[in-house]
């Protein structure tokens, strides 16, 4: 580990005290998570949610509910004038699809909100919900995306021209020539399962409209500032009177980077009744009505030469986007964004893809770790896996033959993504070496215990630093996303960083403090980071999409550099030295070559603020040690590789994981331990997608596994030890040389499992998984299909 470049203090301060890192509300003993907050006079909300997937609402009878002695208020679409949040990115043929706060005349998925009941407690509110009578006139349920695309299909939204609300076609190179010259063409239809981020903490909101007409909202969100802006925008409240606080958040994973109806309904209710209002989502609500993800149908075709040279790729990606297009990322985040990542590390330039975002009667899909890339790269990797088996070439050798070389960067991919740097061959070398890949591949698949061993490899290229440029290269041409930070040094020389980021497990308070301390030359212990509160931070888009280290770190570097330069100018005047000859280290300013000539940062800060006789003239240097800076970085792409070893029982289809190796290149690491936390966490979720997780809707639009009794996820017993390693190629285009590392495994490790299953089953022939999760039944079906062909 010592050979890995890192910011100073990367490991020394990893265990900083809770006192310095937690929100001030926690220090006062008031709260940790939203559910822990209790305000004087607080009332609670329960929601009546639709039991039908697609139906006209013919009657809602509130009489019995309103007659309940503890009923404070009942809100429906009529009271909020049919308010909604509309996703519209103004690109291509995108048709805006509004998400209503309440269902009005029609429901479009099971779990959609019909009414909100306000009562003294959630328990009582739930009782009152049961008194509301709703009559439905059922409509045909749109369940299958390819059926939904057909002319004359039942419409989810009558105002939309068909159920496809977005489509695009992209071509580059000569795709027809590539397929004519191919020695082998692999065609597969891949289906990736619908899943949920399922964070440990469900969603929660508290809204408090106060006596002075200001609004405070506590929300389990990843994006406090965008939430504040959009509450003002959609509810027509003055934004300067709104404060949004995200206290500790128990996991987000992209799911909480959206704006949900509940985050608008509760502020509206609080203003109306002039009381603090609270709602905490239960797990069934979460499974039904929090953003879902990953479900795509992909028709992929690969053109390849017999020596393993990839000539071109075609893909038709159809995203099952559910009933609405969620704000701010929308349903295009699956098919359209996924297609942009199809080339990965490969250097072919002939590609054709189509993207279709399709409405169905299910809960909406949107961002979840890896977004649409998870499905697209799985389709690509299964096609390459099948080609390798048919050509009798190891997939690792196909990688080596087709990877972009180190001296070819910057590289423009087949989908026009600008890869800034990397050494893909070195990363793959490291992964193969650590996993004993070649040795294991040379051994028999059948083990003495009757099981089949499989070893799988995969490789990923990850778009990171989700600013305007990477967003555009990933399919969002109309989006602007950036961040700001303020760095302030007070008269005693201690430092406050006001950040637009908001960590919910990523360790952003640690890493931003490290960046500030390193840049300024002060002690880590003397830096405090404020985030997650719009009253004390700096405007930013929040934490998601592998952006915090690069964008958040970049804003802090820029602001801290300003403060450092001003401090050096003041020190040069006071110490009668040239600023270029001064060094700041651990809170002390030295003159190069004269270590006895030094002053502390604390002394210089005091002079700056209070001693006008010793500091420079204010016309020369303004006596304020503060700077606010903005950063919208260039495109930067991380990369890495995963290897998994499994044992598969051919009698039951059960898969046991025996080893996982992960190698990542995310540029200069601010804190390697935090990077490895991201690597391991992503692998856990990748195992879920690969082997376990699937939200199962029936043809009536009912979710059959809306609890943890039936929705399977990895747990501590599922996860083996994970061996992590790093290759470092600093980004030449970002401040600090940073790249992101958040999505990583969800662009790769599930592909390694698919490859490992195919390797284990190679004793039966060429059998490649075509759907996720790869459960025992799919394994047995593959074995059965092989037996039928014999």
Higher-confidence residue of 93 and 783: namely 783
Alpha-carbon dihedral angle through residues 147, 150, 155, 157, given to the nearest 10 degrees: 110
**Mean pLDDT within 428-450:** 98
Whether 15 has a pLDDT exceeding 50, the answer reads no
In a domain, 151, yes or no: no
Whether 446 has a pLDDT exceeding 70, the answer reads yes
One domain, residues 571 and 710: no
Domain count, the chain: 3
Q: What share of the chain is helix, strand, coil (3-state, %, to 5)?
A: 30, 25, 45
Residue that terminates a domain, selected from 567, 599, 631: 631
Given a contact cutoff of 8 angstroms between Cβ atoms, the answer to whether 407 and 401 are in contact is: no
- pLDDT band per the 50, 70, 90 thresholds, residue 718: confident
Whether 625 has a pLDDT exceeding 50, the answer reads yes
Q: Specify the pLDDT at position 434.
A: 98
Task: Determine the Cα angle at 165 with ends 689 and 173, to 5°.
Answer: 75
Q: Specify the pLDDT at position 631.
A: 97
In a domain, 737, yes or no: yes
**Mean pLDDT within 36-62:** 97
One domain, residues 245 and 278: yes
88 to 81, 166, 260, 478, 677: CA distances (angstroms): 21, 11, 16, 9, 35
Q: Specify the pLDDT at position 16.
A: 25
d(CA 622, CA 637) in angstroms, rounded, equals: 39
Given a contact cutoff of 8 angstroms between Cβ atoms, the answer to whether 284 and 707 are in contact is: yes
**Mean pLDDT within 43-63:** 98
Q: Which of 8-22, 140-154, 220-234, 716-730 has the lowest mean pLDDT?
A: 8-22
The residues pairing with 57 across neighbouring beta strands, listed in sequence order, are 136
d(CA 335, CA 298) in angstroms, rounded, equals: 9
d(CA 80, CA 101) in angstroms, rounded, equals: 8
- pLDDT band per the 50, 70, 90 thresholds, residue 83: confident
In a domain, 175, yes or no: no
Q: Specify the pLDDT at position 362.
A: 98
One domain, residues 385 and 449: yes
**Mean pLDDT within 587-596:** 93
Residue that terminates a domain, selected from 582, 598, 631: 631
Report pLDDT digits (tens) over 451-473.
Answer: 999 999 999 999 999 999 999 99
From the number of C-beta atoms within 10 Å of its C-beta (0-12, 13-18, 19+), residue 717 rates as exposed
In a domain, 342, yes or no: yes
d(CA 361, CA 109) in angstroms, rounded, equals: 5
Whether 90 has a pLDDT exceeding 70, the answer reads no
In a domain, 189, yes or no: no
CATH code for position 122? 3.90.1170.50
Whether 79 has a pLDDT exceeding 90, the answer reads yes
Report pLDDT digits (tens) over 337-393.
Answer: 999 999 999 999 999 999 999 999 999 999 999 999 999 999 999 999 999 999 999
List Cβ neighbours of 293 (8 Å cut-off, separation of 6 or more).
194, 195, 196, 197, 254, 255, 334, 365, 366, 367, 368, 371
In a domain, 160, yes or no: no
- pLDDT band per the 50, 70, 90 thresholds, residue 155: very high
Given a contact cutoff of 8 angstroms between Cβ atoms, the answer to whether 102 and 53 are in contact is: no
Q: Specify the pLDDT at position 5.
A: 36
- Nearest in space to 751 (alpha carbons), one of 385, 487, 430: 385
Given a contact cutoff of 8 angstroms between Cβ atoms, the answer to whether 119 and 43 are in contact is: yes
One domain, residues 589 and 660: no
Domain housing 263: 34-139+202-249+256-289
One domain, residues 334 and 367: yes
One domain, residues 273 and 299: no
Q: Specify the pLDDT at position 88.
A: 63
Report pLDDT digits (tens) over 26-48.
Answer: 333 445 899 999 999 999 999 99
One domain, residues 446 and 573: no
DSSP 42-94: -EEEEEEE-S-SSEEEEEEE-HHHHTSTT--EEE-TTTTTT-EEEE----TTP
One domain, residues 555 and 644: no
CATH code for position 586? 3.30.365.10
In a domain, 754, yes or no: yes
d(CA 251, CA 79) in angstroms, rounded, equals: 33
Report pLDDT digits (tens) over 361-377.
Answer: 999 999 999 999 999 99
In a domain, 544, yes or no: yes
Beta strands in 432-571 (DSSP E): 452-464, 483-489, 495-499, 527-530
Residue that terminates a domain, selected from 598, 631, 664: 631
Higher-confidence residue of 524 and 6: namely 524
Report pLDDT digits (tens) over 658-704.
Answer: 999 999 999 999 999 999 999 999 999 999 999 999 999 999 999 99
- pLDDT band per the 50, 70, 90 thresholds, residue 254: very high
d(CA 590, CA 521) in angstroms, rounded, equals: 11
Farthest-apart Cα atoms in the chain, separation: 94
One domain, residues 350 and 277: no
DSSP 383-427: HHHHHHHHHT--HHHHHHHHBPPGGG-SEE-TT--EE----HHHH
Report pLDDT digits (tens) over 719-769.
Answer: 889 999 999 999 999 999 999 999 999 999 999 999 999 999 999 999 999
Alpha-carbon dihedral angle through residues 460, 463, 464, 466, given to the nearest 10 degrees: -150
d(CA 396, CA 705) in angstroms, rounded, equals: 38
One domain, residues 225 and 84: yes
Percent of the chain topping pLDDT 90: 90
- Nearest in space to 456 (alpha carbons), one of 691, 295, 727, 729: 691
Report pLDDT digits (tens) over 95-147.
Answer: 989 899 999 999 999 999 999 999 999 999 999 999 999 999 999 999 999 99
Report pLDDT digits (tens) over 481-539.
Answer: 889 999 999 999 999 999 999 998 899 999 999 999 999 999 999 999 999 999 999 99
Beta strands in 65-183 (DSSP E): 73-75, 84-87, 97-100, 106-107, 113-119, 133-138, 164-172
One domain, residues 106 and 223: yes
d(CA 571, CA 604) in angstroms, rounded, equals: 7
Task: Determine the Cα angle at 763 with ends 761 and 767, to 5°.
Answer: 40
One domain, residues 662 and 691: yes
């Amino acid at each position: 580990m010592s050979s890995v470049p890192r910011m100073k203090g990367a490991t020394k301060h990893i265990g900083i005290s809770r006192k310095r890192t937690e929100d001030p509300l926690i220090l006062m003993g008031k709260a940790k998570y939203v559910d822990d907050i209790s305000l004087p006079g607080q009332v609670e909300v329960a929601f009546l949610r639709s039991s039908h997937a697609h139906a006209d609402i013919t009657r809602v009878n509130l009489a019995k509910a309103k007659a309940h002695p503890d009923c404070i208020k009942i809100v429906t679409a009529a009271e909020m004038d049919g308010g909604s949040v509309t996703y519209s990115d103004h690109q291509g043929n995108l048709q805006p699809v509004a998400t209503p706060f309440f269902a009005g005349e029609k429901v479009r998925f099971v779990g959609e909100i019909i009414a909100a009941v306000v009562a003294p407690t959630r328990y009582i509110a739930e009782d009152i919900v049961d008194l509301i009578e709703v009559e439905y006139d059922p409509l045909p349920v749109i369940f299958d995306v390819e059926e939904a695309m057909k002319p004359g299909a039942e419409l989810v939204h009558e105002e939309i021209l068909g159920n496809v609300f977005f489509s695009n076609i992209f071509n580059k190179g000569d795709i027809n020539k590539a397929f004519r010259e191919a020695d082998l063409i692999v065609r597969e239809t891949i289906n990736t399962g619908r899943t949920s981020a399922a964070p440990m903490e469900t969603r929660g909101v508290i809204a408090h409209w106060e006596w002075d007409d200001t609004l405070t909202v506590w929300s389990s969100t990843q994006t406090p500032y965008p939430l504040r802006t959009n509450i003002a925008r959609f509810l027509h409240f003055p934004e300067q009177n709104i404060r949004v606080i995200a206290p500790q958040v128990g996991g987000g994973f992209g799911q909480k980077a959206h704006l949900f109806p509940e985050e608008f309904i509760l502020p509206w209710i609080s203003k109306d009744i002039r009381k603090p209002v609270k709602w905490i989502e239960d797990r069934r609500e979460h499974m039904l009505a929090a953003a879902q993800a990953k479900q795509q149908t992909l028709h992929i075709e690969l053109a390849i030469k017999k020596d393993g040279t990839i000539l071109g790729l075609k893909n038709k990606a159809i995203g099952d986007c559910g009933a609405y297009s969620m704000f701010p990322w929308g349903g295009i985040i699956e098919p359209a964004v996924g297609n942009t990542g199809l080339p990965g590390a490969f250097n072919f330039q002939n590609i054709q893809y189509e993207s279709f975002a399709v409405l169905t009667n299910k809960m909406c899909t949107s961002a979840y770790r890896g977004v649409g890339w998870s499905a697209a790269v799985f389709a690509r990797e299964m096609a390459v896996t099948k080609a390798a088996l048919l050509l009798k070439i190891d997939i690792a050798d196909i990688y080596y033959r087709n990877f972009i070389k180190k001296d070819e960067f910057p590289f423009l991919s087949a989908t026009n993504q600008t890869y800034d740097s990397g050494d893909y061959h070195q990363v793959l070398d490291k992964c193969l070496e650590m996993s004993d890949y070649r040795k294991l591949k040379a051994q028999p698949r059948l083990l003495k215990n009757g099981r089949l061993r499989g070893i799988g490899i995969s490789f990923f290229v990850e778009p990171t630093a989700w600013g305007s440029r990477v967003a555009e290269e990933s399919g969002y041409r109309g989006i602007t996303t950036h961040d700001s930070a303020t760095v302030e040094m007070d008269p005693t020389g201690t430092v406050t960083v006001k950040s637009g980021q908001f960590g919910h497990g990523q360790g952003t308070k640690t890493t931003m403090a490290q960046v500030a301390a390193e840049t300024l030359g002060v002690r880590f212990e003397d830096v405090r980071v404020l985030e997650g509160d719009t009253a004390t931070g700096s405007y930013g888009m929040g934490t998601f999409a592998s952006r915090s280290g690069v964008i958040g770190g970049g804003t802090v570097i820029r602001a801290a550099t300003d403060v450092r330069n001003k401090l050096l100018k003041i020190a040069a005047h006071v110490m009668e030295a040239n600023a270029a000859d001064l060094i700041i280290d651990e809170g002390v300013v030295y003159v190069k070559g004269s270590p006895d000539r030094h002053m502390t940062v604390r002394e210089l800060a005091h002079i700056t603020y209070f001693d006008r006789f010793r500091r420079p003239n204010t016309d020369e240097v303004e006596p304020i040690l503060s700077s606010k800076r903005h950063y919208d970085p260039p495109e930067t792409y991380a990369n890495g590789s995963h290897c998994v070893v499994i044992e598969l029982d051919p009698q039951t289809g059960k898969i046991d994981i025996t080893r996982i190796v992960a190698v990542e290149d995310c540029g200069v690491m601010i804190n390697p331990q935090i990077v490895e936390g991201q690597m391991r966490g992503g692998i856990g979720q990748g195992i879920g997608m690969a082997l376990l997780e699937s939200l199962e809707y029936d043809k009536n639009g009912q979710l059959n596994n809306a609890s943890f009794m039936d929705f399977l996820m990895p747990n501590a017993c599922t996860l083996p030890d994970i061996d992590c390693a790093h290759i470092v190629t600093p980004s030449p285009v970002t401040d600090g040389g940073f790249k992101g590392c958040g999505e990583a495994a969800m662009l790769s490790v599930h592909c390694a499992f698919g490859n490992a299953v195919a390797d284990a089953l190679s004793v039966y022939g060429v059998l490649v998984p075509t759907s996720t999760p790869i459960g025992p039944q799919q394994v047995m079906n593959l074995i059965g299909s092989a037996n039928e062909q014999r």
